[in-house]
Structure 1
């Protein structure tokens, strides 16, 4: 179990971990990354996979491709979790805002394989972030991890919640309450 982040409302209190309603039994449905598909895809056949397409689309300047034309080498990205400007594509990871392992434990274990593959490649759920921020986040959701850049925290929490809702992820009553409180804290609403 992860330690919950303290909510900084009027006083600092530590939230407790609450079991997820209807979470899959880990003995019958162990998490497998492969259950979400083979990885980055190239649906339009232009040799640029999902990662490369995302990097090219989100760069604030035209990107430089590798000699093969199939991967991005350089561009200019503002990594949202840290606010850092990054110009080398190799310094970025593509993060699933709602991590695959998190989704698995909140209902994706029972999804059809096509829905899991769609979730893994959904550009709404993908962000180029610094490798260190991605490693720091791991498979945690916003109750256990928030971006270091406080300016991005509201957007991150709102986007996480929209994606979870769109895909029908299951949260316990306590998680729903804690997510609402966190949203109020980081967004001021």
Structure 2
């Protein structure tokens, strides 16, 4: 091979190597159009993915759900509570215990006072004071609803106060929520109504005093629903109202026991006094009226036309004042006001 041919061959080989190198670079680096197309395709796929699975980077706004109101069963204590008027507390002016009659009267006329009636009802294992016809409780056992504890009761000067009779709706509270308007007889019944009375732990009763549900509730939480339900029943029975605070406290207690019923009314039963029918009165024939004797009509007095009085002074001097129209000597000139009576 000549030197000239050798140089041409080398030049061709160099050109071929250069072309191969340029082709490799062109295959590894995409064009700007291809890059743009690829980016657009990637964004489209990402958007398609979001649309398909419903997810996104933004958090959905929180939905506020309102809790449904407490459903009030018809006939429940909650239902009766909503029937009571809600008013402010009236003044305590004029309140005294004797406004509700003598303490522990025997209103049912069973021969036993109200305190012992309630002890008999609420206690077990009772014994009685001799010669009281099983009325006066001497000993007994009370399962106290206010504290949940057992109390062994013994009647005595220093021990009887261990068990006291509580007015579930206190008398003072009743006075300030409508009892002022009740008759004295109805207030006496209220104070002795077994429906409003419970035998309870003495210290707990003293702690309660005249508080309502807004200021005092039994320590025994399992009894609270029945306690406020009884207060509601008593107020309904006697047409009393509740204060707003009292209403809200009762509703709060009953929210944990919405089906709680108002206790059955075991109220005072006033016996009907049977009165013997009086014997029919004998009808007596009326005595005939005595015959009326008719007095003879006196003849009208004849006027003495000759009687004359110059003036009233003359009438008075004659002792004839006053003169009537029918009297002798009457003259219109003496009767200035024309009433038929002269020289008055």
**TM-score, normalising length: structure 1:** 0.78
The offset of 1:45, in angstroms, is 4.6
1:35 corresponds, among 99, 102, 118, to 99
Larger radius of gyration: 2
C-alpha RMSD over aligned residues: 2.0
- 2:172 matched to 1:106? no
- 2:241 matched to 1:170? yes
Name the counterpart of 1:118: 189
What are structure 2's unaligned runs of at least 5 residues?
1-85, 155-159, 260-344
Name the counterpart of 1:66: 129
Distance 2:258 2:95 in 1: 35
Cα 1:100/1:72, change in 2 over 3 Å = same
More strand by share: 1
Please say which of residues 63-72 and 150-159 is displaced more in the overlay. 63-72
Distance 2:88 2:247 in 1: 14
The offset of 1:177, in angstroms, is 3.9
Name the counterpart of 1:149: 220
Distance 1:175 1:55 in 2: 29
Distance 2:244 2:216 in 1: 19
Kept in 2, the 8 Å contact 1:23–1:107? The answer is no
Q: Secondary structure at the match of 1:132?
A: helix
Cα 1:111/1:183, change in 2 over 3 Å = same
Larger RCO, structures 1/2 (Cα 8 Å, 6+ apart): 1
Q: Secondary structure at the match of 2:130?
A: coil
Work out the number of aligned pairs and report it. Answer: 165
What are structure 1's unaligned runs of at least 5 residues?
1-19
Kept in 1, the 8 Å contact 2:214–2:245? The answer is no
Q: Secondary structure at the match of 2:218?
A: coil
Q: Could you list the per-position Cα deviations for residues 107-147 of structure 1 after superposition, in whole angstroms to 9, with x for gaps in the alignment?
A: 10111111111110110100001110000100001111000
Runs of 4+ in structure 1 off by over 6 angstroms are: none
Q: Could you list the per-position Cα deviations for residues 58-93 of structure 1 after superposition, in whole angstroms to 9, with x for gaps in the alignment?
A: 2222x2112342521111111110111122152200
**TM-score, normalising length: structure 2:** 0.45
